[in-house]
Chain A
Amino acid sequence: MSEQTTLTVRNDLSELERLGELIDAFGARNGLPAKAVFELKVAVDEVVTNVISYAYDDGGEHEIVVRLSLDAGELSIEVEDDGQPFNPLAAAEPDVDQPVEDRPIGGLGIHLARKLTDRLEYRRQGNKNVLVMRKTARSM
């Protein structure tokens, strides 16, 4: 089974809930396991939250495009924005073994996206940032 879906959200954090619902619907249409759908939602949320929070400095409205495709149980997710050039994968990995007092606040989002997917790749394409995630999610 294969499906490609394009979701478009505005650069507004209030869009995150709707984005989650769209991913739930994609998962349901394709019979994906609940665990994989949840992981997909968190990974996409983290990347899109990063874009909304840091990619724009003009105060204007922008569109972020999320392309989901599923082919033989392999998910490919592209998140494309027209913000400033930014490679989130260049950020340092947090030390997740530190005690509460020493843990920095923040820096966890991309860590979660990395751990919840099998592969993350970034490319600058024209005036767009494109983050590609790949994840195995066998249909039930």
Chain B
Amino acid sequence: MDISETKSGGIVILGVKGRIDASNASTLEQKALALIDGGERRLVLDLAQLDYISSAGLRVLLMVAKRLTPRDGKLAIASLRDQVKEVFDIAGFSSIFKIYPTQKDAVAAV
């Protein structure tokens, strides 16, 4: 897993490439939670280059949302590939997260 981070106009965009599974999910968790604890409130997760996600990755997204919500933060997820989208759908995450077809749409939403 590679994580890229860019910030513009008060929005942090994290791009995740490769796989998120139980062996590396904590890396993404620490990264995202540190941003929130550091005061960031507008996050976009760009998953255009994410090939694979298991429930360990979904768990991190849930933790990020739970940390942001009481702080009036916003999280938007961009560019899910079909197979990653299927995992979101089965877990019921497609209805509880804000998911957008492009990074641009996700940025506009936070």
**A residues adjacent to B (C-beta < 8 A):** 13-14, 16-17, 20, 34-35, 38-39, 41-42, 45-46, 49, 52-53, 96-101, 103, 105-106, 108-109, 111-112, 115-116
Contacts and interface: CB of A to CB of B under 8 A. Distances in A.
Please report whether the interface of chain A is mostly helix, strand, loop or mixed according to DSSP.
Answer: helix
Contacts of A41: 52
B56 interface: yes
B56 A49 contact: yes
Interface of B: 19, 21-23, 52, 54-56, 58-59, 62-63, 65-66, 69, 82-83, 86-87, 90-92, 95-97
A13 B59 contact: no
Contacts of B69: 100-101
A46 B52 CA distance: 13
Contact of A45 (B54, B90, B97): B54
A43 B69 CA distance: 30
B21 A17 contact: yes
Given A35-B86, A42-B87, 19 more contacts: A13-B23, A17-B19, A35-B82, A46-B54, A49-B21, A49-B54, A49-B56, A96-B90, A96-B92, A97-B92, A97-B95, A98-B92, A100-B96, A101-B69, A108-B59, A109-B54, A109-B56, A112-B54, A112-B87
Given A100-B62, A101-B66, A20 B91 contact: no
A42 B97 CA distance: 21
A103 B62 CA distance: 8
B91 A16 contact: no
A35 B85 CA distance: 12
Contacts of A116: 90
Contacts of B55: 46, 49, 106, 108-109, 111-112
A103 B90 CA distance: 14
B96 A112 contact: no
7 contacts: A17-B19, A17-B21, A42-B52, A97-B95, A106-B55, A109-B54, A112-B90
B38 to A, nearest CB: 21
Contacts of B62: 100, 103, 105
B90 A20 contact: no
A49 B83 contact: no
